[in-house]
Structure 1
Amino acid sequence: MNLRRIVPAAALLAMTTMVTGCGAQQDGQETGGRAPKQVTMNEQQAIDRAEEIIHQAVDGMSPKPTLERIGSLPVGPCIARDDHGPDDRVQVTVAYKLTGVPGSEAQNLVRQARDAWLKQGYKYNSSGEADWSGPFPAVYMRTEPDDFWMDAMTGVVDRAKGEGLASLGVTSPCFLPPEKASASTAADPAALEDPQADDPTRQRALGHSSRIYDALRVGSAPTQPGEGLSTVRDESGTSVHHTWSTEPLPEDERVRALARAQAYFQSAGWNVRHMPTLEGIPAVVARHPEEGTIAQVAASTTGAVRVAVTTPVNGPASADV
């Protein structure tokens, strides 16, 4: 399975809060010999910039589509990071379906989005070469110098007729809002704590991690700094967060492991989406439709595959845990 292929339209239509909680790239990690970059912005600035990038792609389109928002709140935690940055950093993701146009126009809309972004001076990322041989391409790009990542993709509606559904998504770098940065070490110690052993949410998170481990079929690495179990409390509620890594793998094995993870999520009924990454291998992001648990499986710059599972405390118990 080629993870650079686009997701079906059914997955695009099913995405809700999943897109708000999972990052495309990891601010602060070293890439290509550059020093880690610190991003300073507030949530509204990130949302406004993401919306600007969307409208740069859409405003000149013909035929003119209608923007239909995917997901709810655009601000979510930055998860599955490589840099072990502060746990209270956030990330903005804005995504839209392009509706109100014939399904046969989906590829054309993706091309127009790509052309509009190129005119702005934006660049392909390492996984950004679209496959134009078929009717359902996807394009992954990034802005410079502020490093927002975006995609224009098509989901299949009717393969026989060549009809699809286009969508656009923009994800900000991970950032620490100014009010949290100024709080520094004065943060509420209850905001991040170890969950109790008999906590049912803890058991659900570990159960999901265990099944992902079985699906990946590769060995796990010793726990790294910033990994493990924690209970996170913020404005959106309380959740249990579990992160861990596999042993380092060759690139072809990382791709196969991600494909196995995707197959597991799809077979278990999770809503699945791909997100571009600095590593170049799109991450697999999935949301449990009943619990609201979010899982991200991503190739790391270290050669490992990183897994993050975030389970809301007030979510219903999963029947298969």
Structure 2
Amino acid sequence: MKPNRITSIIVLLCAAVAITACGSQQGGNGNGAKKSRQATMDEQQASARAEEIVHQAVEGMSPKPSLKRTGLRPLGACIARDDGGPDDRVQYRLTYQLTGVPGSEAKSLVRQARDAWVKLGYKFQSQDGDWSDPFPSVSMRTEPDDFWMTALTGVVDRAKGEGLAAISVTSPCFASNQGSTADPASFLRTQADEHARQLALAHSSRIYDALRVRHAPAPAGDGVSAHQESEDAFVHHAWSTLPLTEEETTQAMARVRTYFETTGWSVRHIPTATGAPALIARNARDGSVARIAPSSTGAVRAGVTTPVPPEQPAGT
């Protein structure tokens, strides 16, 4: 796989972790003021605050990295529907790669981001990162405005211990005033796009079979969508199960983990605010990344992101 494709997968993994975190951020503590802030936020305010959180993490870093913003569309459908809010809400998601430093410094940059956020009084989602891991991640949230962020080390060269640090920030859900009705699947035009779409759907089907629980009706924002990251394109498929009991969730997550491990996926556990860890898995054969995450409603949310293979010149 090309190096730029590897870094794109790392960024998508970081974004997936951030979305996993947001899967229960709206669970609500009865704080009416929090709901009011979410209702009155707009894209400009969400963007400015997300940028501020990133720069708070990066400002004092040594060595000083350069910020490379991803090409993923920052404004998207609200993933965190656990508070019963309207389905036409949106969230702002901002992701940066921390470039221009040796790969051996990636772990240090993630830890420095954690330290900067702790000094500002921001809270861990559930626990601190595992700093014995050569490629750690940490997920936190701001108070009182409830932005959620992840600093993550993606693996570039495991044998050499080299990684790529990235930071992703996701806003609370807020009302959209853009009224876009474009069908994301309409962007899938080429044979390569359709191949990636079929792969993503096939992976989702196998994951569904492994979970062995019924899926829920698809809300707005779920289904197949397309993303562009620099020169690379990806197809994403998202869906949810029906609400489960705690025991059913534990059993379903164990079954899907076994499926990943016995079929050659590499699996990583990510802490979430629900207390039950999410699973991030990568398929080495086609580069797909899957994210399986319990939510505070009891539903298990699933997402599969598959890279679109580059078009081959005619006659090759």
User: What TM-score range do you get, normalising by the shorter chain?
Assistant: 0.5 to 0.7
Tell whether the 8 Å contact from 2:149 to 2:169 is kept in structure 1 after alignment: yes
Looking at structure 2, the residues matched to 252 and 273 of structure 1 have their Cα atoms a distance apart, in angstroms, of 16
Match for residue 162 of structure 2? 163
Tell whether the 8 Å contact from 1:231 to 1:240 is kept in structure 2 after alignment: no
State the Cα distance separating 1:163 from its structure 2 match.
Answer: 2.1
Change in Cα spacing, 1:176 to 1:243, as seen in structure 2 (3 Å) is: same
Tell whether the 8 Å contact from 1:78 to 1:174 is kept in structure 2 after alignment: yes
Looking at structure 2, the residues matched to 254 and 64 of structure 1 have their Cα atoms a distance apart, in angstroms, of 43
Looking at structure 2, the residues matched to 28 and 132 of structure 1 have their Cα atoms a distance apart, in angstroms, of 25
Moved more, 93-102 or 250-259: 250-259
Moved more, 32-41 or 168-177: 32-41
1:37 aligns to 2:31 (yes or no): no
State the Cα distance separating 1:263 from its structure 2 match.
Answer: 5.6
State the Cα distance separating 1:91 from its structure 2 match.
Answer: 1.0
How many equivalent residue pairs? 277
1:211 aligns to 2:209 (yes or no): no
Change in Cα spacing, 1:230 to 1:264, as seen in structure 2 (3 Å) is: farther
Change in Cα spacing, 1:136 to 1:229, as seen in structure 2 (3 Å) is: closer
Change in Cα spacing, 1:260 to 1:69, as seen in structure 2 (3 Å) is: farther
* Aligned-partner residue type, residue 22 of structure 2: Q
Structure (1 or 2) with the greater helix fraction: 2
Deviations 1:258-284 (A, max 9, x none): 5357669985x9xx9987643144545
SS at match of 2:86: coil
Deviations 1:193-220 (A, max 9, x none): xxxxxxx9xx96976653331132x322
* Aligned-partner residue type, residue 220 of structure 1: R
Change in Cα spacing, 1:14 to 1:219, as seen in structure 2 (3 Å) is: closer
State the Cα distance separating 1:24 from its structure 2 match.
Answer: 3.2
Looking at structure 1, the residues matched to 174 and 263 of structure 2 have their Cα atoms a distance apart, in angstroms, of 29
1:141 aligns to 2:140 (yes or no): yes
Aligned partner (choices 233, 251, 254) of residue 256 of structure 1: 254
Looking at structure 2, the residues matched to 275 and 81 of structure 1 have their Cα atoms a distance apart, in angstroms, of 20
State the Cα distance separating 1:74 from its structure 2 match.
Answer: 0.8
* Aligned-partner residue type, residue 121 of structure 1: G
Matches within 5 A, 1:1-321: 12-14=7-9, 19=15, 22=19, 24-26=21-23, 29-31=26-28, 37-38=35-36, 39-40=38-39, 41-79=41-79, 81-126=81-126, 128-177=127-176, 179=177, 209-216=204-211, 218-220=212-214, 223=216, 227-228=217-218, 243-245=240-242, 247-250=244-247, 252-257=250-255, 259-260=257-258, 267=265, 277-283=272-278, 297-307=292-302
Tell whether the 8 Å contact from 1:47 to 1:92 is kept in structure 2 after alignment: yes
TM-score, with structure 2 as normaliser = 0.67
Change in Cα spacing, 1:230 to 1:254, as seen in structure 2 (3 Å) is: same
Looking at structure 2, the residues matched to 171 and 65 of structure 1 have their Cα atoms a distance apart, in angstroms, of 21
Gaps of 5+ in 1: 1-8, 181-186, 193-199, 317-321
Change in Cα spacing, 1:63 to 1:247, as seen in structure 2 (3 Å) is: same
Tell whether the 8 Å contact from 1:299 to 1:305 is kept in structure 2 after alignment: yes
Match for residue 196 of structure 1? none
Deviations 1:129-184 (A, max 9, x none): 1111232221111100011111111122333333222111111112213x37xxxx
Tell whether the 8 Å contact from 2:281 to 2:289 is kept in structure 1 after alignment: yes
Gaps of 5+ in 2: 184-193, 228-235, 310-316
Tell whether the 8 Å contact from 1:122 to 1:142 is kept in structure 2 after alignment: yes
Q: CA RMSD in A?
A: 4.6
Looking at structure 1, the residues matched to 203 and 245 of structure 2 have their Cα atoms a distance apart, in angstroms, of 21
